[in-house]
Amino acid sequence: MATQLATHIVTFQLNGRPHAVTVAPLTTLRTALREDLHLHATKAGCGQGGCGSCTVLLDNELVLSCLVPVTLVDGRSVTTLEGIGGPGRLHPLQEAFHDHFAAQCGYCTAGMIMAAKWLLDRNPNPTRAEIQMALAGNLCRCTGYVPIIEAIEDAARRMSKGVKR
Amino acid sequence: MKQLGIVGQSVKRSDGIGHVTGQTEYVDDVFYPGMLWLKMVRSPVSRGRIRRVDTSRAERLPGVTAVVTAKDVPNNWYTILCLIGIEPNDEPVLADEEVMYEGEPICAVVAETEDIAREAASLVKLEIDEQEPVLDVEYALTADAPAIKKWGNNTFMYDGMNHRRLRFGDVDRGFEEADHIVEGTYQMTPIEHVPMETHVCVVKPEPNGRLTIHSNTQALYFTMDNTAIILKVPSNRLRLVGGTVGGGFGGKVDVITEPVTSIAAMKTGRPVKWRWTREEEFRRSSVRGACKMEYRDGVMKDGRIVARKVRSIHDAGAYHRHSPYGVQKNMANLPGPYSIPNVWVDCYCVYTNRQPSSAMRGFAVTEATFAVEVQMDKIASVIGMDPWEIRMVNAYRNGHMRPVRKVVEDATLLETLKAAAQLVGHELPARVRDMHSDDYAGVAEPVQP
């Protein structure tokens, strides 16, 4: 029989605003974001924590949203790519990714930018090795790692020059 | 003269802002109200005869709306390259009598949620009489191996022959006059494309009788034509929406999700989404086929290759997909970009009970280039010559006839090698330093048109 599991109401801050979802207990944060709240920037690449395309920030820490049951984010704060900027109000990382052709097929991009944001929030002037380390959990199968790293270096420069974050 | 504005400029991608803001719509981002979910029941064995497919328990599961089997597919037997004359149709959309590889689709279940569809798929009971699979290409070519294809052997038939041939000049004479014989065997394993986005298809039945098909295929019109053939409907019944692919690399040119998803949508009258798991993408989607290439070259002391004989074996897996065409491209490129007066190539497109292989970046040309260039290095090492020199001595010139009977035009190999040598700071031997593509000193004269 298809199991009709009890549902939970989960409330959390999403990109600075309060949100609530009604979900089955094992629903992942990624599924809640994509299929209940219809924020589609966060991608589903593997569903097993192997690719990084679903990377978001949970209380400003990097998490793989496919591995986080959404019930665990109750009362907490989640930031997705939609929360850091959009068309017409790009975050410096988004500008730099666009300028450096750092998105080819685009499927890993949300996860890459969120991992980069986590890094620059903590380390505004990272070395190349530190950038590479921060991206270690994010795969790009178009293998465009070099423009991605260069975009993050450039974004760090732009942000240190006082470009509004 | 009119000033050109684009050439030499770096132009921003038209989809760039969408990509960096997450606003680009991929197929998995398409949701319709009332959308159903599809999951595939796949063969657990590499080869066997299907005795029974019992879907009764799956159909009784609350939330299950349809089951799709081979009987529901109007033209179940297909081959995607029928559009360029490849025949016969050798692959079922859904297996009916036999299964030919582990993971072959047998029946689809459609349900209100993806979880219910997954559970229902696990309730389908398969009774399959397992048969000894053919898993090795060399074994598949022997008389001992069971014939797994309906036409009675294990190879694609090229003009009535079990391999594709290329014959140019007289290789036996070439080997006789050669100072050295250099042999080498080169193999490539299967390679999976692993796009970040797995295969996804969403089909919505429209009130006007058409189907709107959202697909991440790399080949939209190709998909439309094949889907129309399989569904036995005119192509104007199908509205294909595509263009955004989250990584393909050749892995999304098989028409592998659209027909079944369309049938599910027609059967239920509701939108249906089928998205593959990462495991399905890895283990069930086509791969770059394994390839083995055996070279035998006759070489003169001065570096000229006077004879080249190659046997190439390509593992197509269980079905054609794009392999018969890929093997043909492999054949054309095995001599390399070199003027060799005597060439003999035999290329086999071999069927095994493995995951089918199909297109991937370069598509059997990559395999040929890998083999031929490692072989060139080996020749250089055997006869003690600079590896650049051996390539330049043999490089084809404008007007040279290639073994496939195409006359070379716009040759740039020598110019490219010279530029590359300069970039890496390699000093070319004096003998080849000034060679160019219209220089015939020491090589064959151009063919007169």
Q: How would residue A12 be classed by pLDDT, with cut points 50, 70 and 90?
A: very high
Query: What is the predicted pLDDT for the residue at A3?
Result: 52
Residues 379-418 of B with CB under 8 A from A: none
CATH class for the domain made up of B164-191+287-433: alpha beta
pLDDT the model gives residue A1: 39
Contact A38 B31 (CB under 8 A): yes
Average pLDDT of chain A, as a whole number: 94
Tokens of B18: 């969408």
CB A151 within 8 A of CB A99: yes
Write the single-letter amino acid at B23: Q
CB B332 within 8 A of CB B404: yes
* ipTM reported for the complex, 2 dp: 0.95
B447 and chain A in contact, CB less than 8 A: no
Q: Report DSSP letters for B185-229, one per residue.
A: EEEE--B----SS--EEEEEE-TTS-EEEEE--S-HHHHHHHHHH
Nearest CA to B371 out of B345, B404, B349, B350 is that of B345
pLDDT digits (tens, 9 = 90+) for B374-416: 999 999 999 999 999 999 999 999 999 999 999 999 999 999 9
Average pLDDT (A90-107) is 97
Hunting for tokens 């924590």 — which residue is that?
Answer: A49
CATH number of B27-131+193-283: 3.90.1170.50
Asked whether B338 and B305 are in contact (CB, 8 A), the reply is: yes
Query: Would an 8 Å CB–CB cutoff place A108 in contact with chain B?
Result: yes
Chain B residue nearest residue A95, CA to CA: B20
Q: CATH fold of A8-80, please?
A: Ubiquitin-like (UB roll) (3.10.20)
Candidates A39, A140, A141, A148, partner chain B, best to mutate (most B CBs within 10 A) = A141
CB-closest option in A94, A105, A142 to B20: A94
Instruction: Give chain A positions within 8 Å (CB) of B193.
Output: 141
Chain B partners within 8 Å of A109 (Cβ) = 19-20, 22
Q: What is the pLDDT of residues B327-346, one digit of tens each?
A: 999 999 999 999 999 999 99
Q: Do B21 and A85 touch (CB under 8 A)?
A: yes
How is chain A split into domains, by residue range?
A: 8-80, 85-160
Angle, nearest 10°, between helix axes A145-160 and A109-122?
40
The distance of Cα A137 from the centroid of its chain, to the nearest Å, equals 12
Query: How many whole angstroms separate alpha carbon A36 and alpha carbon A18?
Result: 15
Q: Is A48 on the interface with B (CB under 8 A)?
A: yes
Interface residue of B196, B198, B216, B275 to substitute, partner A, most A CBs within 10 Å:
B196
Q: Give the Cα separation of B18 and A107 in Å (integer).
A: 11
Pairwise CA distance, residues B33 & B15, whole Å: 27
Tokens (6 digits) for B195: 């796009």
- The per-residue DSSP string of chain A comes to ----PPPEEEEEEETTEEEEEEE-TT-BHHHIIIIIS---SS--S-SSSSS-TTEEEETTEEEETTSSBGGGGTTSEEE-HHHH-BTTB--HHHHHHHHTT--SS-TTHHHHHHHHHHHHHH-SS--HHHHHHHTTT---TT--HHHHHHHHHHHHHHHHTT---
Contacts of B119 in chain A (CB under 8 A): 2
The neighbour count for residue A74, using CB atoms within 10 Å, is 12
Query: Is the model's pLDDT at B360 over the cut of 90?
Result: yes
CATH T-level assignment (fold) for domain A85-160: DNA polymerase; domain 1 (1.10.150)
What's the sign of the alpha-carbon dihedral B245, B251, B252, B257?
negative
Domain boundaries, chain B: 27-131+193-283, 164-191+287-433
Phi, psi dihedrals of residue B115, rounded to the nearest 5°: -65, -45
Chain B nearest-CA residue for A36 = B31
Q: Has residue A5 got a pLDDT over 70? A: no
| Residue B26 or B442, more confident | B26
pLDDT at B166: 97
Q: Which of B274, B297, B409, B279 is nearest to B345 (CA)?
A: B297
